[in-house]
Amino acid sequence: MAEAAVKSRKIPYVSAINEGIRVVLAEQPNAFAAGEDIGGAGGVYGYFAGIQKDFGEDRVFDTPISEEGIVGLGVGSAATGCRPIIDLMFMDFLGECMDEVANQLAKMRYMFGGRATLPVTMLTMAGAGANLAAQHSQSLEAWICHLPGLKVVMASTPADAKGLVISAARDDNPVIVVLMKTLLGMQGEVPEGNEGVPLGKANIVQPGSNYTIVSWGRMVHESLAAAAKLKDLGIDAEVIDARSLQPLDTDTIVASVRKTHRVMIVHEAVRFGGFGGEVAAQIQELAFDYLDAPVARVGAPFSPVPFSPALEPHYVPNADRIVAEVKTQLGL
């Protein structure tokens, strides 16, 4: 008899994160969650809502306002047998704890010859679009993808928000799950149960035949909107959600480029020095002979994120900018 299909239903992105955390705490007795205001308040964004009440104050608790202390707690507890979920309220706050992240979390397993595992899951929020200004709106995935020893994933849908949290917590390596604050209210189909989303595997969210757009996070949705507009130009765009940046699913990206012969990489982070440059380099190394046009990139300008509600929309890439860059790339 065939297995029954996994049921799914539409829930918000924020609720999907909550479900993922609950799955982890239920299946891993040595897991706990720690962060600023995640206990009774349920976290600044609400994705810890009700979890302390259901799992107890010993397993879900508030920390002092010290990102270095939060990451240090994760490193030390993981090295001694726990499986912590630590919450870094804003990705921008990596600057407060980068020594702990870069020199302890990322390196300790290597430096102990594999005898110390660090199954730390770090949740953090990235992205502009909420008028939170220059110190609370950045996308800094390039910082952490550059650190051997870390895995980095970004969730663009409610289903991935749940599934990536679950898979991250099951991994014996430190995994940073980057979430998007502007997607918290987005509704999407989310499977019930405890299935994870594989780390290291991209998602072809829309098949296409003669153009490839690679993106991640919020920009996946702008890329899909751009793809719809590009149809009027005779461009049938394949949209790939990289989803896992470290490790990167280069095979899926390269296979698409070899089919379509044209590619654009879209990310919300500043274009200069962004992770899109690494993706572009891998494409030209592995699919150069298949390219009919140079690899194109769309990203934010080399500027801090503006607070001004009038300026911020001009800073963040959108579907119209993607379409304009495609036209420029193809000489249309």
Task: Centre a 10 Å sphere on the Cβ of residue 304 and count the other Cβ atoms it contains.
Answer: 14
Q: Which residue has the tokens 């801090």?
A: 304
Among 12, 88, 23, 83, CA closest to 54: 23
Are the C-beta atoms of residues 213 and 239 closer than 8 Å to each other? yes
What single-letter amino acid sits at 321?
Answer: R
Helix (H, G, I), strand (E, B) or coil at 135: coil
Residues in CB range of 32: below 8 A, 6 or more apart = 25, 58, 59, 60, 61, 77, 82, 83, 84, 85
Catalytic-labelled residue, pool 19, 136, 267, 268: 136
Whether residue 221 lies in the annotated active site: no
Whether residue 267 lies in the annotated active site: no
Q: Exposed/middle/buried for 148, CB within 10 Å: 0-12, 13-18, 19+?
A: exposed
Catalytic-labelled residue, pool 67, 141, 268, 278: 67
Catalytic positions: 67, 136
